[in-house]
Amino acid sequence: MKRRTFRAEGAVVGRAVADAVASELGMPEAEARKLVDVGAVYIAGRRSRDAAAKLTAGQVVMVVLEEGGQSALAESVPAPVLRVLYEDADVIAVDKPAGLTAQPTEGRVGGSLVDLVSAHLGREAGLVHRLDRETSGVTVFGKSADATSALAAEFREGRARKRYVAATGPGLPPSGTVDLPLSKDPSRPGRWRATRAANGVPALTDFRTLHSGPEFCVVELLPHTGRTHQLRAHLTALGAPILGDARYGGAKKAGGMEASRCLLHAQALELAHPSTGQVLRVEAAVPEDLLRFFTAVGVAVPQGPIGGAQGS
């Protein structure tokens, strides 16, 4: 990755971001504005898309000029269409597509779900929970500071309920609860292990197997906790990793069907509305790549109220 960093000092202080970038990097202001527009400019570690924002003394500006050998100004892939599932004055719930990061990552050029929702709102969206990049499904945002705080408390205090569905390897029992702590796997960076042999964080998942066959299972997952990679690690501990989950050993094909990504979908979410206190339930249709596994075995996708398990 090629990048340039400078600190707002002297004559740069008080100048617009695009103007300062153009001056410091020796480029036309129009080009600097494009860098801001594509999300390649970070101020104090946070992505800035406001070319006219004024810099204050001491702020560090980082500009990503090239990533993965490609210019930040190269023709980019069109942003996915934002699928809004619910919206009112306080809350917006969207269906996150697989392959999209939940939030911007420093040094990564391109959009994220936060970027898409913020563009839709015309202001910064309040992120309160996250899905893995390959996971699809329901994600909620607050539209004000108060709403964001209230929604975040629903997750933090374990009142939000979540229902996921997935296609996994074979061998799952009809139903059960996985009560195994999670800890980072020292032998495999980026992966978590579900075991009592390490000093991990508590993690609890209820599951119900909707179909069990010799090649794959279709399962409903109700997490009580919301740990990183919880469902992926728990299913792996059961000997049935999610199909397409390369990091955890999931098969790339089953039943003659391809699994080109981790086939995990956040299908439903229930939480208290920040203003009314009434239960707000939002559901997201299962995407085609996972739905075909349901269809192939004639299994219906769970619908309606989420039973039993609470997510955080």
What six digits make up the tokens of 245? 């989950």
Would you tell me the crossing angle of helices 17-25 and 29-37 to the nearest 10 degrees? 120
Q: Is 68 exposed, middle or buried (0-12, 13-18, 19+ CB in 10 A)?
A: exposed
- Note if 132 is an active site residue: yes
What six digits make up the tokens of 206? 């209820």
Residue 81: how many other CB atoms lie within 10 Å:
8
SS (H, E, C) 219-234: EEEEECCCCCCHHHHH
What six digits make up the tokens of 159? 């009142």
The catalytically annotated residue of 90, 95, 132, 206 is 132
User: Which parts of the chain are beta strand (E)?
Assistant: 2-7, 41-43, 46-47, 60-67, 70-71, 84-87, 91-96, 126-127, 136-142, 161-168, 175-179, 182-184, 192-194, 204-212, 217-223, 253-254, 257-258, 264-272, 279-283
SS3 290: helix
CA-closest candidate to residue 209, choices 187, 254, 176: 176
The Cα 160–Cα 153 span in angstroms is: 9
Instruction: Identify the sign of the CA torsion 272, 278, 284, 285.
Output: positive
The Cα 232–Cα 241 span in angstroms is: 7
The answer to whether 141 touches 127, Cβ cutoff 8 Å, is yes
Tokens 């919880």 found at: 230
Known catalytic residues? Answer: 132
